[in-house]
């Protein structure tokens, strides 16, 4: 009687069984890698704008303070994008006929606000308050990177839940003195003033009775 299976059949069965075990593991690892990549988190990606605004030129070369355009960052939850009249404070006198700025002039003439596309976006179920962070010594660069060196704005950090929790678990490593909150790269060297500010914030958190890692801190 002839053999039903070839001599190599056992080997193929073993390979198939191993593949059935390995495939789900690889799928989980691949899914995790994709979820942490810039394609999913937005980190490192540039967002097209009607007006290609350069933070490198305005904030870096010209030294315009972040708060001049992003009003409310010290007093409210949102940083606020600049309205047209803020742009035209300067551009009614400088580069008045530049084609690049045509959308700004049209916005002023029509009274229709400019539409800026969000670069840094959190899910609707995650609550974030700008003024709580900057008034407690968390520098802009902690989330937005060295934005004064960005010709076009990109998302500098992943802004995932795990990334936020890393900071909330060890805030003392991120907090700087109030005078350094708006610096480009405040982490290059920790100063005695930074350590004093970190201690003061830690005391306030302890007295509040709330842990920064409580779910209700960000999910309200």
Return per-residue pLDDT of the chain as tens, 220 residues: 556 667 667 788 788 888 888 888 888 877 777 777 788 888 998 889 999 999 999 999 999 999 999 998 999 999 989 999 999 999 999 999 999 999 999 999 999 999 999 999 888 999 999 999 999 999 999 999 999 999 999 999 999 999 999 999 988 888 999 999 998 877 778 899 999 999 999 898 888 888 899 999 999 8
Establish if 171 belongs to a structural domain. yes
Q: Which domain holds residue 21?
A: 11-41
- What is the model's pLDDT at position 39? 80
Counted domains in the chain = 2
Residues 62 and 36 in one domain: no
Start-to-end Cα distance in the chain: 74
Residues 193 and 133 in one domain: yes
Establish if 50 belongs to a structural domain. no
- What is the model's pLDDT at position 2? 59
**Which CB contacts under 8 angstroms, 24+ apart, belong to 49-55?**
49/116, 49/117, 49/153, 50/103, 50/114, 50/115, 50/116, 51/100, 51/101, 51/103, 51/104, 51/114, 52/100, 52/152, 53/152, 53/153, 54/150, 54/151, 54/152, 55/147, 55/148, 55/150, 55/151, 55/153
Dihedral angle sign, alpha carbons of residues 172, 118, 34, 37: negative
Residues 36 and 75 in one domain: no
- What is the model's pLDDT at position 23? 84
Asked if residue 126 lies in contact with residue 218, where contact means CB atoms within 8 angstroms, the answer is yes
Residues 77 and 134 in one domain: yes
Establish if 102 belongs to a structural domain. no
Give pTM, 2 decimals: 0.81
Establish if 151 belongs to a structural domain. yes
- What is the model's pLDDT at position 145? 92
Q: How far apart, in whole angstroms, are the C-alpha atoms of residue 213 and residue 170?
A: 10
Residues 35 and 126 in one domain: no
In which region does residue 145 sit, left (phi positive, over 0), alpha (psi from -120 to 50) or beta (all else)? left
Dihedral angle sign, alpha carbons of residues 169, 174, 175, 178: negative
- What is the model's pLDDT at position 132? 94
Q: Can you tell me whether residue 132 is helix, strand or coil?
A: helix
- What is the model's pLDDT at position 103? 96
């Amino acid at each position: 009687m002839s053999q039903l299976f070839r001599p190599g059949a056992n080997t193929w069965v073993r390979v198939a069984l191993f593949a059935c075990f390995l495939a789900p593991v690889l799928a989980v690892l691949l899914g995790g890698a994709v979820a942490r990549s810039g394609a999913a988190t937005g980190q490192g990606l540039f967002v097209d704008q009607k007006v290609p605004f350069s933070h490198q030129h305005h904030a870096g070369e010209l030294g315009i303070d972040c708060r001049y355009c992003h009003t409310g960052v010290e007093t409210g939850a949102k940083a606020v994008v600049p309205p047209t009249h803020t742009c035209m404070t300067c551009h009614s006198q400088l580069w008045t006929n530049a084609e690049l700025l045509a959308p700004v002039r049209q916005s002023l003439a029509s009274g229709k606000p400019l539409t800026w596309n969000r670069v840094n976006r959190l899910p609707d179920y995650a609550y974030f308050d700008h003024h709580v962070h900057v008034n407690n010594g968390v520098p802009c660069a902690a989330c937005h990177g060295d934005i004064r060196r960005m010709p076009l704005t990109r998302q500098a950090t992943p802004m995932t839940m795990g990334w936020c929790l890393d900071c909330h678990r060890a805030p003392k490593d991120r907090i700087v003195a109030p005078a350094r909150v708006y610096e480009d790269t405040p982490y290059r060297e920790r100063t005695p003033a930074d350590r004093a500010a970190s201690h003061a914030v830690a005391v306030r958190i302890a007295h509040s009775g709330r842990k920064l890692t409580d779910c209700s801190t960000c999910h309200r």
